[in-house]
Each structure stands twice: as structure tokens, then as C-alpha cells.
């Protein structure tokens, strides 16, 4: 069986993705890697390599050691952190992608998954039901790096036949590993604070509508796309992907159904401007038509599971 590596296995997506890949393909066939240790269940369920994605020869050595064929490259700096450190974010987000694409071009690995984001869109993009092909003028360094990355992916596919696939993730919501450095992170923090303190101060305004998705849907989309027959993958830059769209006020109202005393207040910070430059909802009809994508979780179902699981975790 061909081996897979998840680079960035300690992160929000990486931890859930590693466990699901191990579940499907066998623990020993999925190598987790990150610059820092991952969650206990990731560390204990299969092989782990400490790896700095910027260390090209170190990465190549790990690929050779484990005879890796599929790479999920998740190491990245997200929108909020990237605005504080633009050059570092550009370096990390771009150099890591280009070095992995080169290794695929040289035949060291066979398949690459690289995540893009709704951050590729900008203030001039149509806000509702944003199409796959549209105006893209991102105003954040994170968005600029994701848009450039998309172009590189398509280029490597067209020019060198590299089998690279990607999706434009919306804000992702999960209970296993907390998000870090993103603009959509409020939608995870709010659950922890609702349980811990019964209240939450949100860094976005109440009516900031953003596209979001529950992690199990995002993981299924990711693996389905990577496992889809090549002829079904018609877009090699990155697919639009949509789950649920809501604003902080709507999410707070849903949480209140479970915790009636929960209260929310609003103190927008620099991330408000980032959020306002992004779409409110996404048209993902290409993903649905090409490889059969369909989301499962709505706001009510997700909220119920988030509260139950975080309560268990904190108790
Ligand atoms: C962020 O908020 O930066 C990320 C994203 C939408 O890509 N969650």
C-alpha cells in the first residue's frame, strides 16, 4: 500500500485528517509530521516525524525513508497571524509549496494535496454565492499567497503533469484541536467560552457573514478529492467548497438554545477588515458536479456536537 504523509499534523486540520486517513488506510501507512508534537491520539496511533517544512533536504529524506507517495501539505500561516508577519507568512506559505511541487515534478512523490482558502477572494469579488471563476483581488498577505499558490498548482499540473489537488477551505470548526491565527477562529473560540464562562467577546461584528464548515465535512471533502479518479478532477488550482454560512449573532442564538444564559458582546479588531473583504457564501457547484461533493452538517447539528464534545473534553 502506498504511504501518505500529513505535513502539519499538529494543526487544526492535520490532527483530524491524520486520524481519519489512518482509520481508512491503516495506521502504519499514514505518517504524521510537524515541527512540534501533535495531539496524543495522533502521536500514539502511528508513525510521527519531527519535520520543519522549510528544511527541503530533511523533507526529502523523510519522503525517501517512508517511501511516501501522497503528501498533504497543511503547514501554513493563517490570515490573522500573516498580517502581523507578512514576509514570514509569504516565505512559509510559498516556499513549502514550491519545494513539494518540485519533488513531485522530479518523481519523488506521486500526489499532492494543498489547501487554498476563501481568502483568495477580495473586496471586489461578488459577495454572495461567489463563483469558482470570478474577480480575485485579495487584500491580505495570506490571500495573496493562496492565490499565487493556486496559480503555481495549475502551472505544475499543466506544464509538468504534477497530480496536485486543492480546495478553498471556508472557516473550519472542530473540537479536537483549537484553531490558531485565523479570522474565522471566533467560531471555535465561542464554544469553549460558552462552556467555560457562559459569555464571549467576539472580535467580529454581529452581522459579519462568513462561509464556514464543520470539520468532518472538510475532512471527507479533502480525502474524496484526493482519492477521486484523475479524470474527474477538472480544476487543478483549487475547488470552491461550501458548507454553512452564518454570522456571530446567528451562531450565538444557536448556542443559546443549549445554554440559555449565554451572552455575547462585540469588540471588532483588525480581523474585522479581513472578514469584510471575504465572501459571505460560496457557490461550489463545480465540486458537486465533478467529484460528487455534498456537505452533511448544518448549523444546528454542528452546534449540538461541538457543545457535547467540548463539554466532555473540558470536564
Ligand atoms: C483563516 O481565517 O485565516 C482561515 C481561512 C478562512 O483560511 N480559517
| 218 Cβ below 6 A of ligand 1 | no
pLDDT score, position 180: 86
Q: Residue 80 CA: which ligand 1 atom is closest?
A: 3
Residue nearest to atom 7 of ligand 1 (CA): 117
Annotated catalytic residue: which of 72, 142, 169, 297?
142
79 touches ligand 1 (CB under 6 Å): yes
Quote the pLDDT of residue 177: 87
The verdict on whether 142 is a catalytic residue reads yes
pLDDT score recorded for residue 145 = 98
| Ligand 1 atom, smallest distance to 78 CA | 3
Give the pLDDT score at 132: 98
The position carrying cell 448549523 is 299
Specify the pLDDT at position 99.
97
What is the mean pLDDT for each group of 10 consecutive residues in the chain (315 residues)?
Answer: 94 97 98 97 98 97 98 96 97 97 98 98 98 98 98 98 98 91 97 98 98 98 98 98 97 98 98 98 98 97 98 95
pLDDT of residue 262: 98
- pLDDT at position 179, please? 77
Which of 13, 79, 93, 203 gets mutated to test ligand 1 (max ligand atoms within 8 A of its CB)? 79
| Ligand 1 probe mutation, 119, 189, 211, most atoms within 8 A of CB | 119
Q: Which atom of ligand 1 is nearest to the CA of 142?
A: 3
Domain over 3-117+139-169 is classified CATH 3.40.50.720: yes
Q: Which atom of ligand 1 is nearest to the CA of 170?
A: 6
208 lines ligand 1 (CB under 6 A): no
Q: Is 277 in the pocket of ligand 1 (CB under 6 A)?
A: no
130 lines ligand 1 (CB under 6 A): no
- Does any ligand 1 atom lie closer than 6 A to the CB of residue 96? no
**Residue-level pLDDT at 277:** 98
Pocket test for ligand 1, best of 150, 174, 182 (most atoms within 8 A of CB): 182
Indicate left, alpha or beta for 161 from its phi (over 0: left) and psi (-120 to 50: alpha). left
d(CA 198, CA 191): 9
- SS3 string, 172-197, reads EECCCCCCCCCCCCHHHHHHHHHHHC
Q: Is the CB of 215 under 6 A from ligand 1?
A: no
* pLDDT reported for residue 146: 98
Model pLDDT, residue 1: 78
Which residue's CA is the nearest one to ligand 1's atom 1?
Answer: 182
140 in contact with ligand 1, CB cutoff 6 A: no
Domain ranges of the chain: 3-117+139-169
3-state secondary structure the chain: CCEEEEECCCCHHHHHHHHHHHHHHCHHHEEEEECCCCCHHHHHHCCEEECCCCCHHHHHHHHHHHCEEEEEECCCCCHHHHHHCHHHHHHHHHHHHHHHHHHHHCCCCCEEECCEEHHHCCCCCCCCCECCCCCCCCCCHHHHHHHHHHHHHHHHHHHHCCEEECEEECEEECCCCCCCCCCCCHHHHHHHHHHHCCEEEECCCCCCCEEEEEHHHHHHHHHHHHHCCHHHCCCCCCEECCCEEECHHHHHHHHHCCCCCCEEEECCCCHHHHHHCCCCCECCHHHHHHHCCCCCCCHHHHHHHHHHHHHHHHC
For residue 6, report the distance from its CA to the centre of ligand 1, in Å: 19
Amino acid at each position: 500500500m502506498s504511504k501518505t504523509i500529513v505535513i502539519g499534523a499538529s494543526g487544526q486540520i492535520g490532527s483530524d485528517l491524520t486520524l481519519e486517513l489512518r482509520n481508512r488506510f491503516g495506521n502504519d501507512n499514514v505518517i504524521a509530521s510537524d515541527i512540534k508534537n501533535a495531539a496524543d491520539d495522533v502521536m500514539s496511533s502511528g508513525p510521527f516525524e519531527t519535520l520543519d517544512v522549510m528544511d527541503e533536504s530533511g523533507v526529502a529524506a523523510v519522503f525517501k525513508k517512508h517511501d511516501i507517495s501522497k503528501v498533504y501539505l497543511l503547514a501554513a500561516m493563517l490570515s490573522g497571524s500573516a498580517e502581523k508577519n507578512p514576509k514570514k507568512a509569504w516565505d512559509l506559505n510559498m516556499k513549502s509549496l514550491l519545494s513539494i511541487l518540485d519533488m513531485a515534478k522530479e518523481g519523488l512523490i506521486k500526489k499532492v494535496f494543498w489547501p487554498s482558502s476563501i481568502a483568495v477572494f477580495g473586496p471586489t469579488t461578488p459577495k454572495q454565492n461567489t463563483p469558482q471563476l470570478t474577480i480575485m483581488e485579495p487584500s491580505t498577505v495570506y490571500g495573496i499567497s493562496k492565490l499565487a499558490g493556486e496559480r503555481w498548482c495549475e502551472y505544475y499540473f499543466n506544464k509538468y503533469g504534477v497530480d496536485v489537488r486543492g480546495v478553498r477551505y471556508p472557516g473550519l470548526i472542530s473540537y479536537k484541536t483549537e484553531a490558531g491565527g485565523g479570522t474565522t477562529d471566533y467560531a471555535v473560540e465561542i464554544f469553549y467560552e460558552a462552556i467555560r464562562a457562559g459569555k464571549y467577546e467576539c472580535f467580529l461584528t454581529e452581522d459579519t457573514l462568513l462561509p464556514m464548515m464543520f470539520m468532518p465535512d472538510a475532512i471527507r471533502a479533502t480525502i474524496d478529492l484526493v482519492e477521486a479518479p484523475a479524470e474527474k478532477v477538472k480544476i487543478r488550482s483549487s475547488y470552491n467548497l461550501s458548507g454553512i454560512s452564518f454570522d456571530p449573532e446567528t451562531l450565538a442564538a444557536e448556542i443559546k438554545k443549549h445554554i440559555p444564559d449565554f451572552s455575547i458582546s462585540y469588540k471588532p479588531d483588525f480581523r474585522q477588515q479581513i472578514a469584510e473583504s471575504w465572501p459571505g457564501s460560496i457557490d461550489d457547484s463545480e465540486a458537486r458536479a465533478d467529484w460528487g461533493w455534498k456537505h452533511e452538517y448544518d448549523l444546528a447539528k454542528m452546534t449540538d456536537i461541538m457543545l457535547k464534545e467540548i463539554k466532555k473534553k473540558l470536564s
